[in-house]
Amino acid sequence: MIDGNGMAGLLTEVLGDGATTLERRCQGCGDVNPLGAHRAYEGAAWVLRCPGCSELAAVIAERDDVLLVEWAGVLLMPRS
């Protein structure tokens, strides 16, 4: 296990620059944390888990030329 900063390249590919600083509200415990603080696990896909309660936050997989992304909770994305 690493923190979400360890998958900064993949998160930037999905969400753009500053992805690890974007905050997410957990659907389990309600905590708000930056993606970089989430726990990241690598296997058949990358899995992000809430640093507070370990609830599933995201699953990101690569398949051919497509990224498959499943989110849980609310991703807080500030407007430019």
* Per-residue pLDDT reduced to its tens digit, 2-34: 877 787 888 888 888 888 899 999 999 999 999
Could you give the 3-state DSSP secondary structure of residue 2? strand
Is 44 among the domain residues? yes
- Which residues span the domain enclosing 41? 2-75
Long-range interactions of 41-48: CB distance < 8 A, separation 24+: 41/1, 42/2, 42/7, 46/7, 46/10, 48/4, 48/7
Is 53 among the domain residues? yes
Q: Could you give the CA distance from residue 52 to residue 43 in angstroms, rounded to a whole number?
A: 22
Into how many domains does the chain fold?
1
- Over the stretch 31-66, which tens digit does the pLDDT of each residue have? 999 999 999 999 999 999 999 999 999 999 989 999
